[in-house]
Structure 1
């Protein structure tokens, strides 16, 4: 299953928690993340499928989720073009 979809299904966050998550995804630095960093983040999430969701306090995993959720489309796992990323709107 796509890691982004799995994240939203397993987290079961309240509205406030999702709103705070969304404000993190609106960070303008997500527009200049290199493709290599995105791929490394995705690889980290895919190799640690179950552990990555539970280890949100680990800063590397937290940053990987942030990059993945803000730059990769959850339906087709393709990169979102820079002008259409959440922070670019």
Structure 2
């Protein structure tokens, strides 16, 4: 049970779903790479800085800064789930 009164659930990512998430992420990365391929290094640098600031502001406003503690994984975020379930050397 969740101390806040909710019902706790545990999920395990399957090998197939992890493969699908990986393929989708690779597709997104490839698509974004295509979009920014002709951007100058300066323009790309500004975009990266702005995106980092956007993420930082979202984290500040929501009270969930990154990186999160291992037991505070956002299970709606596939990359967080993959990172949390990955074997560490």
Greater RCO, CA 8 A, separation 6+: 1
Q: Which has the higher helix share?
A: 1
* TM-score, normalising length: structure 2: 0.31
* TM-score, normalising length: structure 1: 0.31
Greater gyration radius: 2
